[in-house]
Amino acid sequence: MPRRSRSTTAARVVSIVLHPFLVLAALALLAAWRVDPASLARTTSGIGVAIAIVSLFIWQRRRGGHWQTVDASRRQERPLLYVLALLYVLALLIAGGYWLWMGGRASATSNGVLAAVAMLCVAGITNRWIKLSLHMASLSFAGVAAWPLCSAAAIVALATIPLLGWARLKMARHTVPEVLGGIVLGLLSGATLLAAG
């Protein structure tokens, strides 16, 4: 097996550290901490369960030879990824709907989940024509959505967009239009969330 160059290894590390699941989990933890600190333990445990489920699923897809990479980089690998992500979010929305029905009220976190769902739906629909980068969309979305919660975190997220774009291109996971399209999708989704809040 050929040895990876240092720049390819660096790109891989950046892609793992800024993986959409980790970025969105960090955003959810930030929102829980800033908006409803009492929900931080609940949010953390929910994210832990989700990480375990997603990790098991990725391991199964890779081990079975169904995915070439851990991030479903081929276009034909994406539909199942979108369906499972949307089923998970649908379960969260059903639980949230029940909570609202029982007398709760909508929160900034639930609005964020809805915006992320809309972003995934758009990426899933457009997958027929272009494989938008979910890494780029998630980081861009988080950068905008984090602004009212912690401007320093938002600035860090937005400032790392070029680094992540370089990593996705260096690893040949996406083309320039896919990277730029992901950024636009994330920025628009985040701006829609802020406008709705």
Q: What is the Cα–Cα distance from 186 to 18, expressed in whole angstroms?
A: 14
DSSP the chain: -PPPPHHHHHHHHHHHHT-HHHHHHHHHHHHHHHH-GGGHHHHHHHHHHHHHHHHHHHHHHHHTTS-SSTT--SGGGHHHHHHHHHHHHHHHHHHHHHHHHTT----HHHHHHHHHHHHHHHHHHHTTT----HHHHHHHHHHHHTTTT-HHHHHHHHHTHHHHHHHHHHTTSS-HHHHHHHHHHHHHHHHHHHHH-
Select the more confidently predicted residue: 191 or 92: 191
* 36: pLDDT strictly greater than 70: yes
Output the pLDDT for position 1.
42
109-146, pLDDT tens digit by residue?
A: 667 777 887 888 888 888 889 999 999 999 999 999 99
Average pLDDT of the residues in 56-64: 78
Q: What is the Cα–Cα distance from 124 to 62, expressed in whole angstroms?
A: 21
Contact 82, 127 (CB under 8 A): yes
Output the pLDDT for position 146.
94
Output the pLDDT for position 63.
83
Question: Which residues, 6+ apart, have CB-to-CB distance to 11 below 8 Å?
Answer: 166, 167, 168, 170, 171
Predicted TM-score (pTM) of this structure: 0.80
Q: What is the Cα–Cα distance from 145 to 29, expressed in whole angstroms?
A: 13
Lowest mean pLDDT among 22-31, 82-91, 111-120, 141-150: 82-91
Output the pLDDT for position 98.
52
**Can you read off the two tokens belonging to residue 68?**
């070439």
Domain ranges of the chain: 6-196
* 24: pLDDT strictly greater than 70: yes
12-21, pLDDT tens digit by residue?
A: 999 989 988 8
